Amino acid sequence: MHWRNGTDSYGLAAIAFHWIVAAGVIGLFALGLWMVELTYYDPWYKTSLEWHKASGVLLFLVMVARLAWRLANPRPRPRGRPWERRAAEAAHLGLYLLIFAAMGAGYLISTAKGSPIDVFGLFSVPATLTGEGQEDIAGEIHEILAWTLIGLASIHALAAVKHAAIDRDGTLRRMLRPGP
Amino acid sequence: MNTKPTRTTLLGTTLASAVLGAVALTPATALAEKEQYVIDTEGAHAFVQFRIQHLGYSWLYGRFNDFGGEFTYDTDNPENSSIEVTIDTASLDSNHAERDKHLRGEDFFHVDEYPEARFVSTEIRGMGNGDGEFTIVGDLTLKGATKEIEIEAEEVGHGQDPWGGYRRGFQGTTEITLKDFNIDYDLGPASRTAELELAIEGIRQ
């Protein structure tokens, strides 16, 4: 089994990280949209938010591990024309930044008044920055970042489909099948 | 200053004596001081609190941290006094970040659209009848709706403060129906009304 990346292929770890984060980001986005519309007497009113926060913290830990793994591994070069490769690199950087920024903004909403974030009763993340009106400002930024992230991720996915259907250059396949 | 000697005319003399006469004849009450007070928000000796039932099982308390106002106090005819309070709705604080964010949103106070709430008294009943309790009638404007409310109030005390000023304080409570002020988010049958409590200390100007 190829755990580590090659110069032109992704290892199993990188592939797992990619798809776990993809599922996490889409799941958190959907959960977020749904939970803010729930009425007060909905059985999910409280639980949905608790899960959103706790899952967000766990996904943050996954992202930190993913980043460390990425830095300790060869980075397969994007395929395609030079401008496509540059666009792909920029999009990947943008996705990383948006994920961390959205997580940071979300953290600042919940901890704005000094309350920690409980993670499924396992541990809790303490508050750091607090301030008057912080939950409102952080809330708006969180929403904007989440939509921007989903927008960029959609372009990223469309590009993968284009590589698979039009270019047929194996870009999508190497994110599905671990190689040497 | 170079002043010309005033020419005393018949008209001038008549006017002068009429004014003087009027002043002299005015009953002492009308001359009584109508004291002006500014609510001591700077020293935070005033509070605008609210409480609402949670599910019918307990009380949830919150407050507005930023507000301001003034009142007058007519020493001879207290019912001739008045009060005006303006509240910054975004300063709402129920000690819970996510709830405060929700309360400031469209479901509740919609503070972006309605940043200010305001109470202006129109009538004061039963003040100065000796028991220290009275009713303040006035218009409350909140989330775009203006409705008459009655605040049951009492005078707490008044007098010199240790720093050379003069203070007067009151306490009042009222109950409002949320729907009257365009807040119809369903919090359950026990939570359709909220109580407002005002603790007001004014510094005489």
Cα separation, B63 vs B176, whole angstroms: 15
Of B95, B101, B186, the CB nearest to A109: B101
> Are the beta carbons of A7 and A76 closer than 8 angstroms?
yes
Give B100→chain A minimum CA distance, Å.
8
* Interface contact flag, A113 B97, Cβ < 8 Å: yes
Give backbone dihedrals phi and psi of A157, rounded to 5 degrees, phi first. Answer: -70, -40
Average confidence (pLDDT) over B23-34: 53
Q: Residue B54 is inside which H or E element, if any? A: strand B47-54
Architecture of domain A12-175: Up-down Bundle (1.20)
- Residue A34 confidence (pLDDT): 97
DSSP state string for A151-171: HHHHHHHHHHHHIIIII--ST
Average confidence (pLDDT) over B121-134: 91
What Rg, from alpha-carbon coordinates, does chain B have? 23
- Residue B129 confidence (pLDDT): 84
**Interface probe, candidates A117, A135, A141, chain B, greatest B C-beta count within 10 A:** A135
Show me where the domains of chain B are located: 32-204
Q: What is the pLDDT of residues A101-143, one digit of tens each?
A: 999 999 999 999 999 999 999 999 999 999 988 999 999 999 9
Comparing CA positions, the residue from B151, B140, B50 lying closest to residue B95 is B50
* Interface contact flag, A40 B97, Cβ < 8 Å: no
Q: Which residue has the tokens 């980043």?
A: A67
A50 SS3 class: helix
At residue B123 the predicted structure's pLDDT band, cuts being 50, 70 and 90, is very high
- Residue A147 confidence (pLDDT): 98
Helix A44-71 / helix A12-35 crossing angle, nearest 10 deg: 150
Cα separation, B90 vs B103, whole angstroms: 9
Q: Residue B28 is inside which H or E element, if any? A: helix B28-31
Which residues of B89-192 form beta strands (DSSP E)? Answer: 92-93, 116-125, 133-142, 145-160, 166-177
A-chain CB neighbours of B96 within 8 Å are: 113, 115
Of B95, B104, B188, the CB nearest to A40: B188
**Interface probe, candidates A42, A132, A137, chain B, greatest B C-beta count within 10 A:** A132
> Are the beta carbons of B198 and B85 closer than 8 angstroms?
yes
* Interface contact flag, A134 B186, Cβ < 8 Å: no
- Minimal-distance CA residue of chain B relative to A112: B97
At residue A179 the predicted structure's pLDDT band, cuts being 50, 70 and 90, is confident
Q: What is the pLDDT of residues B143-161, one digit of tens each?
A: 999 999 999 999 999 999 9
Cross-strand pairs, B137: B123, B150
- Residue A152 confidence (pLDDT): 98
Cα separation, B142 vs B121, whole angstroms: 15
Cα A161–chain centre separation: 20
* Interface contact flag, B101 A135, Cβ < 8 Å: yes
Average confidence (pLDDT) over A150-170: 96
Class of domain B32-204: mainly beta
The answer to whether residue B141 scores a pLDDT higher than 70 is yes
> Are the beta carbons of B100 and A138 closer than 8 angstroms?
no
- Helix then strand then coil, in percent of chain B rounded to 5, is 20, 50, 30
Of B91, B98, B185, the CB nearest to A110: B98
- Residue B32 confidence (pLDDT): 59
Percent of chain A with pLDDT over 70: 100
Give A66→chain B minimum CA distance, Å.
30
Q: What is the pLDDT of residues B62-82, one digit of tens each?
A: 999 999 999 999 988 999 999
The 3-state secondary structure of B117-145, one letter per residue? EEEEEEEEECCCCCCCEEEEEEEEEECCE
* Interface contact flag, B100 A109, Cβ < 8 Å: no
Of A109, A134, A136, the CB nearest to B104: A136
Comparing CA positions, the residue from A121, A24, A106 lying closest to residue A65 is A24
The answer to whether residue A174 scores a pLDDT higher than 80 is yes
- Residue B73 confidence (pLDDT): 95
Cα separation, A91 vs A156, whole angstroms: 7
> Are the beta carbons of B158 and B169 closer than 8 angstroms?
yes
Cα separation, A135 vs A130, whole angstroms: 9
Of B65, B91, B97, the CB nearest to A109: B97
> Are the beta carbons of A83 and A175 closer than 8 angstroms?
no
The answer to whether residue B1 scores a pLDDT higher than 50 is no
Dihedral sign of CA atoms A135, A138, A144, A146 in order: negative
* Interface contact flag, A41 B188, Cβ < 8 Å: yes
Burial call A11-26: b when 16+ CB within 10 Å, e when fewer: bebbbbbeeebeebbe
At residue B10 the predicted structure's pLDDT band, cuts being 50, 70 and 90, is very low
A to B CB pairs, distance under 8 Å: 33
A-chain CB neighbours of B65 within 8 Å are: 132
The answer to whether residue B5 scores a pLDDT higher than 50 is no
Structure tokens at B151: 């605040």
- Residue B31 confidence (pLDDT): 53
* Interface contact flag, A112 B97, Cβ < 8 Å: yes
The answer to whether residue A20 scores a pLDDT higher than 80 is yes
Q: What is the pLDDT of residues A57-87, one digit of tens each?
A: 999 999 999 999 999 999 998 999 999 999 9
Show me where the domains of chain A are located: 12-175
- pTM for the full predicted model: 0.81
At residue B4 the predicted structure's pLDDT band, cuts being 50, 70 and 90, is very low
Average confidence (pLDDT) over B1-17: 45
- Residue A1 confidence (pLDDT): 75
B174 SS3 class: strand
- Residue A166 confidence (pLDDT): 95
**Interface probe, candidates B57, B92, B101, chain A, greatest A C-beta count within 10 A:** B101
Lowest mean pLDDT among A6-10, A56-60, A142-146, B194-198: A6-10
